């Protein structure tokens, strides 16, 4: 007989265990996993609920992975070391991209069954057992990687994994539990397992709505694929859409999409290259690199704050000692960005993050083509195409702002902690049903961003007055605002607003790589004029071909530019790893070449200017000096604790943090709580703070 233990929430992952099994913090392998709902729902309602949960899980994982990636510092002169550290960044950044693909696929599935879109995510570190682990923006560490491994790993041991290997995973799961404030890390898989069951056999034919195909995200817009590397591992961002009108076909496509998401997360074995496998390898690489560099006094992780925030909460009333409210305040206070300049950059980050989310929602609520297919404006973006472009612009912007923020101090008096991108959700993620008002909403955010640049960042005499990234951002925002004012009045895109001639060609190439830099070569089409462009060579071959009988005549046929844009090869095409340029834009470039590559008027203008990066300061401690010093309780350890910690430890454990004798007498209790992930009570210490405390103990607990 089986006993079922359920947490009284509307929906979550429950564990069914054989009678007699001990339910403890180390019961890490599930005999069976299922989704329990109360009350019982119709299949469509249950599917909508679980897809809504899945969207929040994917969004939360994506931003936590991104924060970990942003915390990796690969600014080293040694190319070998830089390559190794940058490799860590690339792996976790790629998995964040894949979570973005999962998120878009889940939105398409919500549309397929006519359920509302959902771009929310779990935001509180103290609520909800629905999620694999408590939401926490934190620097990359052994502890954070242990959580990611445990959440993504298979719930039950695959036959390919040896017993010794599985025992190692159980040890990692114990580290993950400690890093998750003492709570066991849940597996993501059961949510998708139940969704597969629902779509495979329980949803009715009439629950599928193929007319939503026009508004769904497609791989040709959002996908990414590095192909197979030397180890036959795939690096593909899956974005599945559902365009067939027959319920049987839609059902099959949906099940395959859900299976792909589940497999890319927790799969194991040949050619799967799952998140679980990559995180496990990343964990071993991270531990080895950390051990090697620590002895040399080299840090490769920025000392960024945990859960940075631009909002300062009001403390709970001290006379009413409410542990939960005090814990909430203490947790949030620790990440508050009190440095005025860093907080201004944090506000800018939040505004651009808000734009990204609202552009995504607007795109998924809009139908129609992305480009004009024919006529004099062939290849020009439609308003829906602009939403696609602007969404990727904001992905690029938040990456650059994050790279700035990890180098800025969290507080005015620098204490060794840097700020980080706050990734705070906006006050609402509801957008209007009226298209004109959606454009007006974007306009409001951009005007707020522009005012922030003028009033707080690009102030005369400030360090950011002439920041190149902010200059470029201000220029592009002003142009975008002028268009949004037109669109918010229900008018079409004005003639000649979009680039023409050579500038259009250069823009097509830049937009094909989504404005991001290319590692294999520079974005060679940027920052040059028409004459320089037509003289470009690639692999010692002219980029644009010339007629065999007339060397002055340009021809599209046999031009590398045209052939690479049309190529079906993953390695030979432009752009690599990303979807092909739309056919209408390919045709425009071919016709432009055959028309002898007409220049813009006036001639000699730059086709497209590459967006510059912000000025990057370096504010960080050197671990070499820190590791050589003798730690003092008064100056190094006591400041780690807050007034909240003093009150709670004194009240519940009778430990007086203001008395070194009391701390020494209770050091075993404090160390046990530290290992259990319960020091302090809300367990928001970083791995570096825990290491500092342990080093102080090992040095003899000096005053």
In SS3 terms, 227-273 reads as EECCCCCEEEECCCCCCCCCHHHHHHHHHHHHHHHHHHHHCCCCCCC
- Same structural domain for residues 533 and 585? yes
Task: Count CA atoms within 13 Å of residue 590 on its CB side.
Answer: 15
- Output the pLDDT for position 465: 95
- Output the pLDDT for position 112: 97
Which residues face 15 on adjacent strands?
5, 33
- Same structural domain for residues 142 and 194? yes
- Same structural domain for residues 506 and 454? no
Which residue segment(s) compose the domain that 686 sits in? 629-698
Is the predicted pLDDT of residue 354 greater than 90, yes or no? yes
- Output the pLDDT for position 5: 27
Residue 619, domain member (yes or no): no
- The pLDDT confidence band at residue 13, using thresholds 50, 70 and 90, is very low
- Output the pLDDT for position 183: 82
Q: For 109, left (φ over 0), alpha (ψ -120 to 50), or beta?
A: alpha
Q: Is the dihedral of CA 521, 527, 532, 533 positive or negative?
A: positive
Mean pLDDT for the stretch of residues 588-595: 96
Nearest to 122 by CA among 186, 45, 42: 186
Helix axes 435-452, 468-487, angle to 10 degrees: 150
Name the burial class of residue 550, with classes exposed (0-12), middle (13-18) and buried (19+) by CB atoms within 10 angstroms of its CB. exposed
- Same structural domain for residues 345 and 289? no
Q: How many CB atoms lie within 10 A of CB 671?
A: 14
Alpha helices, DSSP H only, in 379-464?
A: 383-405, 435-452
Residue 3, domain member (yes or no): no
- DSSP states along 567-581: ---TTTSSSSSSPPP
- Same structural domain for residues 53 and 181? yes
Is the predicted pLDDT of residue 271 greater than 60, yes or no? no
**Spatial separation of the C-alpha atoms in residues 260 and 271, rounded to whole Å:** 13
**Spatial separation of the C-alpha atoms in residues 473 and 611, rounded to whole Å:** 8
Helices (H) and strands (E) in the chain, counts: 22, 9
**What token pair was written down for 456?**
């707080």
Residue 31, domain member (yes or no): no
- Output the pLDDT for position 329: 59
Is the predicted pLDDT of residue 399 greater than 90, yes or no? yes
Of the ranges 29-33, 129-133, 238-242, the best mean pLDDT one? 238-242
Helix axes 275-294, 247-266, angle to 10 degrees: 20
- What percent of the chain is predicted at pLDDT more than 90? 58
Q: How many CB atoms lie within 10 A of CB 234?
A: 14
**Spatial separation of the C-alpha atoms in residues 243 and 44, rounded to whole Å:** 19
696 and 702 in contact (C-beta within 8 Å)? yes
Of 125-129, 257-261, 301-305, 313-317, least confident by mean pLDDT is: 125-129
**What token pair was written down for 40?**
């019982």
- The pLDDT confidence band at residue 31, using thresholds 50, 70 and 90, is very low
- The pLDDT confidence band at residue 124, using thresholds 50, 70 and 90, is very low
Of 10-14, 29-33, 122-126, least confident by mean pLDDT is: 10-14
Is the predicted pLDDT of residue 631 greater than 90, yes or no? no
Distance of alpha carbon 125 from its chain centroid, rounded? Answer: 18
Contacts of 320 (CB under 8 A, 6+ apart): none
- The pLDDT confidence band at residue 20, using thresholds 50, 70 and 90, is very low
Please list, residue by residue across 377-401, b when 16 or more beta carbons sit within 10 angstroms of its beta carbon and e when fewer do.
bbbbbbbbbbbbebbbbbbebbbbb
Decide the pairing of beta strands 554-555 and 234-237: unpaired
Q: What is the mean pLDDT of the chain?
A: 85
**Spatial separation of the C-alpha atoms in residues 345 and 405, rounded to whole Å:** 7
**Spatial separation of the C-alpha atoms in residues 484 and 439, rounded to whole Å:** 6
Mean pLDDT for the stretch of residues 178-204: 90
Mean pLDDT for the stretch of residues 383-402: 97
Contacts of 334 (CB under 8 A, 6+ apart): 305, 306, 307, 642, 684
**Spatial separation of the C-alpha atoms in residues 701 and 679, rounded to whole Å:** 17
Is the predicted pLDDT of residue 26 greater than 90, yes or no? no
Of 57-66, 527-536, 547-556, 569-578, least confident by mean pLDDT is: 569-578
3-state class (DSSP) for residue 14: strand
**What token pair was written down for 352?**
């651009």
**What token pair was written down for 196?**
């597969």
Mean pLDDT for the stretch of residues 199-203: 96
Residue 321, domain member (yes or no): no
- Same structural domain for residues 541 and 685? no
**The dihedral formed by the CA atoms of 647, 650, 653 and 654, expressed in degrees to the nearest 10:** -170
- Same structural domain for residues 366 and 477? yes
Which of these three, 573, 594, 615, is where a domain ends? 594
- Same structural domain for residues 46 and 109? yes
Only one residue has tokens 């590692």, namely: 519
- Output the pLDDT for position 334: 78
Better pLDDT: 18 or 206? 206
Of the ranges 85-94, 259-268, 673-682, 688-697, the best mean pLDDT one? 85-94
Report the domain count for the chain.
4
DSSP-assigned letter for residue 301: B
Is the predicted pLDDT of residue 441 greater than 60, yes or no? yes
**What token pair was written down for 133?**
């682990």
| Rg of the chain on CA atoms, in Å | 27
- Same structural domain for residues 560 and 686? no
**What token pair was written down for 512?**
């094909």
Residue 18, domain member (yes or no): no
pLDDT tens digit string along 601-626?
Answer: 999 999 999 999 999 886 544 444 44
**Spatial separation of the C-alpha atoms in residues 492 and 449, rounded to whole Å:** 24
Is the predicted pLDDT of residue 479 greater than 70, yes or no? yes
- Output the pLDDT for position 93: 94
Q: For position 453, which CATH number holds?
A: 1.20.1260.10
pTM: 0.85
- Same structural domain for residues 226 and 258? yes
- Output the pLDDT for position 517: 85
- Output the pLDDT for position 621: 44
Is the predicted pLDDT of residue 385 greater than 60, yes or no? yes
- Output the pLDDT for position 165: 87
**Spatial separation of the C-alpha atoms in residues 421 and 406, rounded to whole Å:** 7
3-state class (DSSP) for residue 143: helix
Mean pLDDT for the stretch of residues 294-310: 91
Better pLDDT: 637 or 345? 345
- Output the pLDDT for position 10: 31
- Output the pLDDT for position 702: 86
- Output the pLDDT for position 626: 45
**What token pair was written down for 478?**
């002003």
658 and 646 in contact (C-beta within 8 Å)? yes
Distance of alpha carbon 86 from its chain centroid, rounded? Answer: 17
Mean pLDDT for the stretch of residues 588-613: 95
Mean pLDDT for the stretch of residues 181-204: 90
Mean pLDDT for the stretch of residues 9-30: 32
3-state class (DSSP) for residue 580: coil
Going from the C-alpha of 457 to that of each of 38, 413, 426, 444, the distances in angstroms are 50, 20, 21, 19
Mean pLDDT for the stretch of residues 671-694: 69
Residue 1, domain member (yes or no): no
Residue 148, domain member (yes or no): yes
Decide the pairing of beta strands 545-546 and 554-555: antiparallel
- Same structural domain for residues 376 and 272? no
Mean pLDDT for the stretch of residues 187-204: 92
**Spatial separation of the C-alpha atoms in residues 593 and 499, rounded to whole Å:** 16
- Output the pLDDT for position 413: 84
- What percent of the chain is predicted at pLDDT more than 70? 84
345 and 104 in contact (C-beta within 8 Å)? no
- Output the pLDDT for position 233: 53
Mean pLDDT for the stretch of residues 385-409: 97
**Spatial separation of the C-alpha atoms in residues 415 and 403, rounded to whole Å:** 20
- Output the pLDDT for position 227: 65
Is the predicted pLDDT of residue 572 greater than 80, yes or no? no
Which of these three, 294, 326, 361, is where a domain ends? 294
- Same structural domain for residues 256 and 354? no
Residue 156, domain member (yes or no): yes
Which of these three, 456, 487, 518, is where a domain ends? 487
């Amino acid at each position: 007989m089986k006993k079922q233990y359920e947490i009284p929430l509307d929906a979550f992952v429950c564990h069914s265990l054989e009678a007699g099994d001990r339910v403890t913090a180390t019961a890490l392998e599930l005999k069976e996993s299922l989704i329990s709902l109360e009350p019982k729902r119709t299949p469509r309602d249950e599917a909508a609920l679980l897809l809504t949960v899945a969207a929040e899980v994917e969004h939360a994982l994506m931003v936590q992975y991104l924060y970990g990636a942003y915390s990796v510092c690969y600014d080293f002169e040694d190319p070998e070391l830089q390559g190794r550290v940058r490799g860590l960044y690339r792996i976790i950044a790629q998995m964040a991209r894949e979570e973005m693909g999962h998120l878009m696929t889940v939105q398409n599935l919500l549309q397929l069954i006519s359920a509302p879109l959902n771009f929310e995510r779990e935001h509180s570190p103290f609520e909800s057992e629905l999620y694999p682990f408590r939401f926490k923006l934190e620097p990359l560490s052994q502890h954070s990687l242990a959580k990611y491994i445990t959440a993504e790993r298979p719930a039950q041991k695959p036959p390919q994994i040896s017993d010794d290997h599985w025992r190692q995973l159980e040890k990692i799961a114990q580290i993950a539990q400690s890093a998750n404030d003492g709570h066991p890390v849940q597996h993501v898989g059961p949510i998708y397992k139940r969704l597969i069951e629902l779509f495979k056999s329980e949803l009715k034919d009439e629950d599928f709505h193929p007319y939503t195909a026009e508004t769904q995200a497609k791989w040709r817009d959002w996908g990414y694929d590095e192909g197979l590397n030397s180890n036959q591992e795939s690096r593909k961002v899956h974005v599945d859409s559902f365009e067939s009108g027959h319920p049987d076909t839609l059902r099959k496509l949906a099940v395959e999409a859900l299976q792909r998401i589940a497999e890319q997360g927790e799969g194991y074995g040949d050619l799967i290259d799952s998140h679980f496998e990559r995180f496990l390898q990343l964990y071993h690489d991270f531990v080895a690199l950390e051990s090697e560099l620590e002895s040399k006094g080299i840090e490769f992780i920025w000392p960024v704050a945990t859960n940075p925030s631009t909002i300062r909460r009001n403390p709970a009333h001290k006379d009413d000692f409410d542990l939960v409210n005090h814990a909430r305040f203490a947790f949030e206070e620790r990440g508050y960005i009190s440095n005025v300049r860093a907080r201004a950059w944090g506000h800018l980050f939040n505004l651009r993050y808000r734009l990204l989310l609202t552009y995504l929602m607007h795109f998924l609520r809009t139908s129609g083509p992305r480009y004009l297919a024919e006529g004099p404006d062939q290849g020009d973006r439609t308003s829906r195409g602009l939403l696609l472009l602007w969404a990727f612009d904001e992905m690029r912007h938040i990456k650059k702002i994050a790279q700035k923020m990890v180098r800025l101090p969290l507080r005015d008096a620098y204490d060794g902690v840097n700020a980080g991108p706050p990734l705070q959700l906006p006050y609402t993620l509801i957008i209007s049903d009226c298209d004109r008002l959606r454009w007006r909403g974007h306009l409001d955010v951009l005007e707020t961003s522009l005012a922030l640049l003028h009033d707080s960042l690009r102030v005369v005499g400030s360090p950011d007055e002439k920041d190149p990234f902010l200059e470029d951002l201000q220029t592009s925002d002003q142009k975008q605002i002028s268009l949004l004012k037109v669109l918010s009045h229900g008018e079409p895109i004005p003639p000649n607003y979009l680039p023409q001639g050579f500038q259009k060609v250069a823009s097509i190439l830049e937009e094909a790589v989504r404005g991001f830099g290319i590692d294999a070569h520079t974005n060679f089409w940027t920052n040059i004029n028409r004459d320089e462009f037509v003289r470009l060579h690639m692999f010692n071959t002219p980029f644009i071909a010339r007629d065999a009988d007339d060397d002055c005549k340009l021809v599209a046929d046999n031009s590398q530019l045209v052939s690479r844009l049309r190529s079906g090869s993953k390695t030979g095409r432009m752009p690599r790893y990303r979807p092909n340029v739309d056919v209408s834009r390919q045709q425009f470039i071919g016709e432009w070449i055959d028309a002898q590559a007409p220049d813009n008027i006036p001639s000699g203008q730059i086709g497209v200017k590459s967006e510059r990066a912000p000025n990057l300061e370096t504010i960080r401690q050197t671990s070499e000096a820190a590791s050589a010093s003798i730690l003092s309780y008064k100056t190094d350890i006591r400041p780690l604790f807050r007034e909240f910690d003093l009150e709670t430890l004194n009240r519940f454990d009778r430990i007086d943090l203001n008395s070194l004798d009391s701390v020494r007498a209770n050091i075993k209790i404090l160390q046990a709580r530290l290992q259990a992930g319960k020091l302090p009570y809300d367990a928001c210490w970083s791995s570096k703070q825990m290491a500092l405390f342990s080093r102080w103990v090992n040095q003899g607990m000096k005053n």
